[in-house]
Structure 1
């Protein structure tokens, strides 16, 4: 059997995902880094318009985070990796090390539905995510972020069974690689905090958690209440500037009071919003 290193050199496609052996050494001792201090990371999605316009590439991301924003961590989006071969990923690791930037996690999109009635679809979704677990392991990311939406108007009890099956299968592959799996509230059942709590309790694994997207308050979504319920399982945070600084402060204080210590990943869109987010986080986390 080929090693993962050999697979990385050739391709990180479906053939890699089908391999069962975890031959790379774990990058971390725990899926959750066990941070005792908070820190700030930058979500690549916050600058998605720039990268789609060709202004820079993912290999430049460590430099952008450090030189443009003086931010210590970066969070990738899988669909923005230009060509994730072994040499490409090796260069990305070198670039991150050169700029003193921690690679925190990979946001995984467009790799299948994790909450579906079809057993075959769930299995394929698990297989599709394996290559990103491998890449996270190689880069030293502590987790991958997934989506969990389900069909419209789905029965919540059935959805719980389907999602539990998917994530238990995914964890069978992720745990030996020492990579955590987390869910971001991107619509559907993942927007239901009580359903998410039920899923967290059912799966009941320290490698499995939440990645709360702060969003902004609205009549349809209680972002403060959602965050409050998700914090016990948070493996990261998608920080977004709130309508005013006081609202942002309250969200930050909620996280600190809960005992959360870890990364605050700025996902507010555009350079000005990123700088404003960093200013607010610096003010209320470290002063």
Structure 2
């Protein structure tokens, strides 16, 4: 387990050679000291604390600002589904405004499959998302994050997902909210497939939310997709980016993803929006994992919008 003490010690103890090598690598991709993207915090990073009752989801804006110095947040609808009302949305809006925290998006799950083979089920799923799109609009978010769940053959799922996304995109257009799809298991974690869905949907309000670590197609078999290739394929449609982390080494680098390489892909695609911290590790606690992810992103060009 990497403790804060070990992290600080190892960081301060880096050899001159390592520091020089890192500087050269950074210089190849980013101008020295350049800050080219803003950092947000995905609520899922604290899912164990919220689910366990250690933290109150209504306090998310305050937590993000005062615990982590991050003034932009990404909500998860699962933490508000019980007794969700317009009053809850108004209260979240007030609390974030009081803290000077920007609401970026709402991640939506458990609302049905937008690529369901049944047209009636697809339409119902679109309807289920509309209240969250309305909430996102009220909060001042730019998007809701959705899933492209479907079944059938590769091409059938592509057609079905594109249909459901287009329908929801039409609603998003009517209220000024984007509908962005995360690589989130199944064929959605196949970069080529999801990019093809984007082309087929061909909707100005429909885009992607590339997640650095969600390229596992089948958890039972272990089938996965190359995360760098997949991110590059999804970036032309990206309206958000999720910096997934799990484990860190003593130098403060994520051990599963080469963040230097990944952020170069993101930057070279012309993206300059928010990149969200989404810590999912277990070796390090949620609070420490978020802080380590923030430090890594700041080192590679991230702004946290601290007051």
TM-score interval (norm. to shorter): 0.7 to 0.9
- Return the match for 2:177 from 166, 176, 179: 179
1:205 paired with 2:195, answer: no
- Deviation, 1:198, is 1.1
Kept in 2, the 8 Å contact 1:215–1:240? The answer is yes
Q: Distance in 2 between matches of 1:226 and 1:273?
A: 24
Q: 1:271 aligns with which of 282, 287, 290?
A: 287
What is the root-mean-square deviation of aligned Cα atoms in Å?
2.0
SS in 2 for 1:266: strand
Deviations 1:94-148 (Å, cap 9, x if unpaired)?
1111211111111110000111211111111111111111111111111011111
1:50-65 matches, within 5 Å, as 50-65=49-64
The whole-number CA distance in structure 1 between the counterparts of 2:49 and 2:278 is 14
Partner of 1:113: 113
Which protein is bigger by CA-based radius of gyration? 2
SS at match of 2:41: strand
Does 2:124 match 1:133?
no
Unaligned runs of 5+ in 1: 1-35
Q: Which residue of structure 2 aligns with residue 224 of structure 1?
A: 228
Give the distance between the partners of 1:286 and 1:73, measured in 2 at CA: 13
* d(CA) in 2 for partners of 1:111, 1:275: 31
| CA gap 1:37/1:99 in 2 versus in 1, 3 angstroms | farther
* 2:73 and 2:101 in contact (8 A); partners too: yes
Distance across 1 between alignment mates of 2:142 and 2:302:
23
Equivalent-residue separation in structure 2 for 1:85 and 1:196 (angstroms): 33
Q: Residues 192-247 of structure 1, C-alpha deviation per residue, up to 9 Å, x if partnerless?
A: 11111111111112211111111178872311111111111111111023766281
1:75 paired with 2:91, answer: no
Question: 1:251 aligns to what?
Answer: 262
Cα shift at 1:256: 1.2
Residue-pair matches, total:
250
CA distance in 1, matches of 2:170, 2:55: 36
Query: SS of the counterpart of 1:103?
Result: strand
- 8 Å CA contact retained: 1:107, 1:145: yes
User: How far has the Cα of 1:37 moved from its partner?
Assistant: 5.0
> How many angstroms does 1:84 deviate by?
2.9
Normalised TM-score (structure 2): 0.77
